[in-house]
Amino acid sequence: MKYYKYKWNEPRGDQFDNWGFSVWYVEIREDGYPNRQIVIYDNGNILKYSENKLEDEYGGLGDQKIDLSEFDGVECSITEFENNWDL
């Protein structure tokens, strides 16, 4: 697995725009697909997705292969990812 985070500096574009910007953490499998995903918004809301919870009314686990050569994320440690998963 590889672990990445990136800052999304754009509003959601929906009725939850007031949540603010977000930081995304993504655990990526060897085949390039997301395995787990965490989204932490400026207002404190945290969304988590995995095979056990693919989606809810706010969003869902990415279903597209991530091309790391075009991905604008910064690699992070498994510890940083897990610390945020436990929030």
Name the percent of the chain lying above pLDDT 70. Answer: 100
pLDDT score for 68: 80
Query: How far apart, in Å, are the Cα atoms of 54 and each of 34, 43, 68, 77, 78?
Result: 11, 23, 22, 23, 21
Residues 70, 2: Cα–Cα separation, whole Å? 15
Please tell me the predicted confidence (pLDDT) of residue 69: 78
28 - beta bridge partners? 2, 34
| 18-52 tens-digit pLDDT | 999 999 999 999 999 999 999 999 999 999 999 99
Strand order in the sheet with 22-28: 46-49, 34-41, 22-28, 2-8, 74-75
Q: What is the pLDDT averaged over residues 64-82?
A: 89
Residue position matching structure tokens 């091309």 = 67
